[in-house]
Amino acid sequence: MAQNLVSVDRLRQLTNLSIETLESLLTSPDVSSQQKAEIAFKILELVGVSPETLISPAVSPKTNGFSPQPTTPQADPIPAPDYQSVIQKESLFLPGDHVFIENFLSLEENQEILKIAFSKSDQFVGSTTTTQAVNYRQSSILYATLFPEFYNLMRNKILNALPDILPQLNHQPFDVSQVEMQLTAHNDGCFYKIHNDSGSEKTYTRTLTYVYYFHQEPKQFSGGELRLYETELKNGSAISQGQYKTIEPRNNSIVFFDSRCKHEVMPVRCPSQRFEDGRFTLNGWLRRPDH
Ligand SMILES: O=C(O)CCC(=O)C(=O)O
Ligand SMILES: [Fe+2]
């Protein structure tokens, strides 16, 4: 018992010393800002401070960020700083603004993407997060390399809609360097806990998130609402205060929002558990250049 108390004390001392050492490294002029950022992120990850801010969908540059066509540059690009300098020092509040558009595709296009999803059901793979967090996300994904024509169609529709969408989000125009896309299926019990899409070194150039919803009619699932949280950005963290807006995953609708905004996919209930009866999305991110 006494020995345990001593070792707890020692452990405390050691912990304090470690924290002091890390603190001095984080403020030392001899440590590069790159190293400081690495240390800071490691600490945040280890102590579990807002771990979900570090979680965002895995990026697979060869597949997920499929870009068969050159992108159209937009006017007046916003400066695109690197990862260190995008870490928000002053607090910035994102109210969960979004743009929701119904009947985004024609009926034929909507049926076409449903047909693509059904015909390639055996090529979907389990989803992951960049931190490989367990029990954070359950869904399956079809990469855009497996539907190149539809990728191009969707990409063009999104880029054409952008000049109307950005002002509604109070967002400045930006140079779109890449349109990432994937087809995601949520079936019975699937979900994606609270996260943002741009909280890691691999994902920080993601600027706008879009999610196009489609499913069979009549709808065979319930749940699966998207919750968009009010988010405060500060010191590299995205903190949500719990207030949110709910977006229903309506067939043939699309939602756009700031990729830094925290969001969550509520659990889906699909009693038949048939693949075809699930909640489907074409979802992805518009990136700005990283220089
Ligand atoms: O399916 C949705 O409504 C959102 C998906 C999402 O948050 C993501 O893939 O990052
Ligand atoms: Fe997301």
144 is a domain residue: yes
- Ligand 1 atom with least separation from CA of 249: 3
CB 213 within 8 A of CB 281: yes
* Pair (218, 272) in one structural domain: yes
- Which residues approach ligand 1 with their CB closer than 6 A? 57, 192, 197, 211, 226, 263, 265, 281, 283
DSSP characters over 80-102: ---HHHHS--S-EEE---EEEES
Nearest ligand (C-alpha, residue 247): 1
Q: Give me the count of residues in the chain.
A: 291
- Whether 218 has a pLDDT exceeding 70, the answer reads yes
- Whether 237 has a pLDDT exceeding 60, the answer reads yes
56 is a domain residue: no
* Pair (42, 151) in one structural domain: no
Looking up tokens 């059901």 gives 121
* Pair (282, 146) in one structural domain: yes
- Whether 153 has a pLDDT exceeding 50, the answer reads yes
Domain count, the chain: 2
Instruction: Express each pLDDT in 69-94 by its tens digit.
Output: 433 333 333 334 456 555 656 788 99
- Ligand 1 atom with least separation from CA of 209: 10
Q: Which amino acid is located at 66 in the chain?
A: F
How confident is the model over 7-36, as a mean pLDDT? 57
136 is a domain residue: yes
CB 282 within 8 A of CB 209: no
Mutate to test the pocket of ligand 1, among 100, 182, 187, 192 (most ligand atoms within 8 A of CB): 192
91 is a domain residue: yes
The CA 11 to ligand 1 mean position distance, Å, reads 41
* Pair (198, 269) in one structural domain: yes
* Pair (146, 251) in one structural domain: yes
Closest C-alpha among 140, 136, 153, 142 to residue 194:
136
- Strand locations in the chain, DSSP E? 92-94, 98-101, 125-126, 137-138, 140-143, 178-186, 191-195, 206-214, 222-223, 226-234, 237-247, 253-258, 263-265, 268-269, 279-287
* Pair (265, 147) in one structural domain: yes
* Pair (233, 166) in one structural domain: yes
126 is a domain residue: yes
278 is a domain residue: yes
* Pair (216, 113) in one structural domain: yes
175 is a domain residue: yes
Domain of 30, in residue numbers: 2-50
- Whether 49 has a pLDDT exceeding 50, the answer reads no
- Ligand 1 atom with least separation from CA of 57: 10
The CA 56 to ligand 2 mean position distance, Å, reads 7
Report the chain's mean pLDDT, rounded to a whole number. 81
* Pair (98, 172) in one structural domain: yes
18 is a domain residue: yes
For position 4, what pLDDT does the model report?
45
The CA 287 to ligand 2 mean position distance, Å, reads 14
The CA 195 to ligand 1 mean position distance, Å, reads 9
Q: Which residues contact 123 (CB under 8 A, 6 or more apart)?
A: 142, 146
Distance CA 279, CA 108 (A): 19
Instruction: Express each pLDDT in 99-152 by its tens digit.
Output: 999 999 999 999 999 999 999 999 999 997 766 666 899 999 999 999 999 999
Domain with residue 209: its CATH number is 2.60.120.620
* Pair (108, 37) in one structural domain: no
